[in-house]
């Protein structure tokens, strides 16, 4: 719209009655959301903007498409926008992304989130795992001081799969074998006394020292004191890598014991397990292949670490997959 016509339209806005003003606001609301999302994408991506093909940082503007500025890489000649190479590339309805980020912060189920923002439930499910794709990697660089580590188990689930590699069972069923077996997903959680947390789906069945080397060792400060239960895998892992280790004999009823002025226990990490499992109940079961996303989602919410939809959205688009 040209400027004289826009000024004429703007001057007539005070003549609108109440219902008409509400209709105008409703019509402008999607555009307002879109403008917020585009501005946020530019602010998050501008400091580290680079070509997703070659990683080159030298580029120039190259037109606009789908409401986003496009760029051309001066090194390889490829064109891209700020969402290229991110999990949100090629997704539509950008004006509703911040609303959906708030739905994630509110831990809404798929159908409730779809109803709130006005999209199909399949879209809401697809957005959930696209948004959480990078959120699950937003972790502390290391764990220091006293580090509590313990594993918890969830029944393996193939929810949503078209083909099963085992006989079907009722939702919320039980494992066919007693104790810790290959029917259970092993979730390792390590947490220091500052609240920094890392977690991983270690595999199926009992935890092993090899899994600790893969999932815990890269994030564990070598001067840290590792505290665990009596699982032999922690003893073998600590002995091999010369890491200070203290065990709590939970089977004997020992919850807390003292070493000098230090309280030796795993209650912090066990409390985190409980919060995670209680939170999962609202989703009526989750597929095992998506567990890493839910672990990252829970870590973002724990203790109010991510406080706004803008912050969550910034994490979701803050990295480039080259």
pLDDT at 55: 87
Beta bridge partners of 80: 71
- Band of the pLDDT at 68, cuts 50, 70, 90? very high
pTM of the model: 0.85
Torsion sign across C-alpha atoms 156, 88, 101, 127: negative
Q: Tell me which residue of 203, 196, 249 sits closest to 220, measured CA to CA.
A: 196
Q: What would the DSSP string read from start to end of 148-160?
A: EEEEEEEE---TT
| Residue with the larger pLDDT of the pair 203 and 8 | 203
Asked if the model's pLDDT at residue 12 lies above 90, the reply is no
Query: pLDDT for 183-241, tens place per residue?
Result: 999 999 999 999 999 999 999 999 999 999 999 999 999 999 999 998 999 999 999 99
From the list 146, 169, 180, 162, the residue with the least C-alpha distance to 266 is 146
SS3 313: helix
In whole angstroms, what is the distance from residue 276 CA to residue 301 CA? Answer: 10
Whole-number pLDDT of residue 31? 61
CA distances, 69 to each of 5, 72, 215, 310 (Å): 27, 10, 39, 20
Q: In terms of pLDDT, which residue wins out, 13 or 245?
A: 245
Q: Which two tokens stand for residue 229?
A: 């239960």
Residue 100, both tokens: 């959906």
Question: What structural domains does the chain harbor?
Answer: 17-135 (no CATH), 146-160+179-286 (3.30.420)
Between 236 and 171, name the one with better pLDDT: 236
Q: Structure tokens of 27? A: 């019509």
Confidence (pLDDT) at 30: 58
Residue 85 has pLDDT above 90, yes or no: no
Residue whose structure tokens are 């393996």: 156
The contacts found for 95-99 with CB under 8 angstroms, 24 or more apart, are 95/30, 95/31, 95/32, 95/33, 95/34, 95/37, 96/30, 96/33, 97/33, 97/37, 97/127, 97/313, 98/33, 98/36, 98/37, 98/40, 98/309, 98/310, 98/313, 99/33, 99/309
Mean pLDDT of the 44-66 span? 90
Q: How confident is the model at residue 262 (pLDDT cuts 50, 70, 90)?
A: confident
**What one-character DSSP code corresponds to residue 206?**
S
């Amino acid at each position: 719209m040209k400027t004289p016509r826009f000024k004429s339209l703007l001057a007539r806005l005070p003549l609108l009655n109440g219902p008409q003003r509400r209709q105008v606001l409703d019509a402008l609301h999607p555009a307002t959301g879109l403008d917020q999302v585009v501005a946020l994408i530019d602010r998050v991506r501008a400091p580290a903007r680079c070509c997703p093909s070659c990683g080159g940082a030298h580029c120039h503007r190259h037109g606009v498409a789908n409401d986003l500025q496009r760029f051309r890489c001066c090194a390889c000649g490829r064109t891209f926008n700020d969402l290229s190479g991110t999990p949100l590339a090629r997704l539509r309805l950008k004006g509703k992304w911040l609303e959906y980020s708030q739905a994630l912060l509110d831990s809404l189920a798929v159908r409730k989130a779809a109803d709130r923002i006005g999209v199909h439930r399949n879209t809401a499910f697809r957005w959930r795992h696209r948004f959480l794709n990078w959120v699950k990697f937003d972790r502390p660089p290391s764990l220091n001081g006293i580090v509590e580590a313990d594993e918890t188990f969830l029944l393996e689930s193939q929810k949503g799969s078209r083909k099963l590699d085992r006989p079907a069972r009722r939702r919320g069923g039980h494992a066919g074998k007693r104790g810790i077996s290959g029917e259970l997903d092993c979730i390792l959680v390590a947490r220091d006394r500052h609240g920094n947390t890392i977690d991983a789906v270690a595999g199926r069945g009992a935890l092993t020292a090899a899994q600790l080397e893969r999932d815990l060792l890269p994030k564990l400060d070598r001067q840290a004191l590792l505290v665990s239960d009596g699982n032999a895998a922690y003893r073998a892992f600590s002995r091999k890598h010369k890491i200070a280790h203290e065990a709590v004999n939970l089977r004997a009823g020992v919850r807390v014991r003292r070493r000098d002025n230090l309280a030796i226990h795993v209650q912090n990490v066990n409390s985190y397990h409980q919060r995670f499992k209680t939170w999962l109940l609202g989703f009526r079961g989750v597929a095992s292949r998506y567990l890493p996303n839910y672990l990252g989602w829970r870590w973002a919410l724990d203790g109010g670490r991510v406080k706004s939809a803008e912050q969550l959205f910034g994490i979701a688009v803050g990295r480039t997959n080259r």
